Structure 1
């Protein structure tokens, strides 16, 4: 009897549209975006096994070959290098840079935001001033100056990209931490003898993590575009390595004769950033407690 009543209650909740938001049907467009992102991750992980050729292997007899041949599905570039092989490697490198930079930015900004909420006073004032300075700074121009002066390297590029957008995480973490600190559970664990570090990392952080994760989905495509722009200008990833922006930069000189060199990576950039934006918007709606 109890089982039947429970089943009826679940049916009523489903009819009223009150099932958990994360269990509801994913919109078709978002599903396609998530599928594309999963495909990109698989390509990045298994790039070494999926590349038909080495990215530096040249076939001068097949220079600027059009897509569709059995040897080169996406054609070749000006040196006879396989575009598909270089595209697969570019996806891996661009995703590594974007993921590492996004994670660095999120950790750095969240720690500063928690420090501002914990100490308040002068510390909070300094963090907010730095956040305002970062928001007002033309990041692309600063990146060009740093890379032109110190030279381009993978570590420097990831660290530089990691400072992009940290002020967003700092502001969000500060505001959420102050709000969470005013609630009863934070005060309760303090009275039980928990240290401030434990309070923030074990109790406050899990309660604000959903908002920070959504912010990461918004920063991730911006970093991809930023890296692509720097590589397009010749100050990002340097040959013989290749990235999506690097391929677009080299392919622009052959846009009229061999447009596939530039269009392939440009399409991947567009679809990837669009997919992340769609997934981020959907995730934000599902994790927002104010949306029914």
Structure 2
């Protein structure tokens, strides 16, 4: 009589894994699935823009000026200088996503840091952070951005840093409130009693517990930064030629709206679908991650 070896690892059944994946996909609404697929496509386009772009963004074909969409070899037509709209749209997606992603990260780090400082020191520091947050919320950010870019000139680094100060007060308020709540709970006090430094307490114990709420806030700030950058580029203060962005394309295409509407409509459609997808996915993540809404 032999005893079966029970120490061997148990591999999950293939059909069980597939059934779990099907159940998970059924729980995702169609609109959210569309948003996730669209955002994944935008990210892939941004990463592999150089490989999938058929022409250079400055390559001109003067014999094919204002060619209609579907005209071979320009699938989305050409602009007033004979430049391929599809190639410029692919590069614009990359530029707009890089600016929005970088600015969102800067805003989240800056706001969360100030929120944690306010929760740690309280008193004068907390009052100062709250006053700055109120000032930022009351300040017309678009007007301030126009003034700064008009005075210093537009550059990629300045644009990303400037956009990074958009919406930081949300993260500061959220981080402050959640950090105060977490500090009042037992686990944070226990770690302090064990001799942990304040930085370790906030980064290793409090931050992971508030990260879900901050991530949801990032999904709300991301589309707003895309729209803000598009507005600045539309006014000629954002991304400067020869580079291009979605707002830049809309700004140049408005002059040919009656003769060649595809120059403006293609980036406008991408802006609309991208911001809509981020909003849909953000609302879904809020419902899934925010414990107060469960």
Query: Under a length normalisation based on structure 1, what TM-score does the superposition of the two structures give?
Result: 0.92
Deviation at 1:23, TM superposition (A): 8.0
- Asked whether 1:124 is paired with 2:126, we answer yes
| 1:51 matched residue in structure 2 | 53
Deviation at 1:98, TM superposition (A): 0.1
Structure 1: unaligned runs, 5 residues or longer = 1-20
| 2:242 matched residue in structure 1 | 240
Q: Are the equivalent residues in 2 in contact too, given 1:36–1:272 (CA < 8 A)? A: yes
| 1:219 matched residue in structure 2 | 221
Query: Residues 270, 196 of structure 1: CA spacing in aligned structure 2 closer, same or farther, 3 A cutoff?
Result: same
Q: Which 4+ stretches in 1 moved above 2 angstroms? A: 21-24
| 1:186 matched residue in structure 2 | 188
| 1:133 matched residue in structure 2 | 135
- Asked whether 1:255 is paired with 2:257, we answer yes
| 2:177 matched residue in structure 1 | 175
- Asked whether 1:210 is paired with 2:212, we answer yes
Picking from 159, 164, 167, the partner of 1:165 is: 167
| 1:40 matched residue in structure 2 | 42
Aligned pairs, number: 272
| 2:72 matched residue in structure 1 | 70
RMSD, matched Cα: 1.2
Structure 2: unaligned runs, 5 residues or longer = 1-22
Q: Are the equivalent residues in 2 in contact too, given 1:218–1:276 (CA < 8 A)? A: yes
| 1:273 matched residue in structure 2 | 275
| 2:110 matched residue in structure 1 | 108
Deviation at 1:290, TM superposition (A): 3.2
Query: Residues 24, 190 of structure 1: CA spacing in aligned structure 2 closer, same or farther, 3 A cutoff?
Result: farther
Deviation at 1:25, TM superposition (A): 1.1
Deviation at 1:291, TM superposition (A): 3.4
Q: Distance in 2 between matches of 1:219 and 1:67?
A: 33
Picking from 190, 195, 201, the partner of 2:203 is: 201
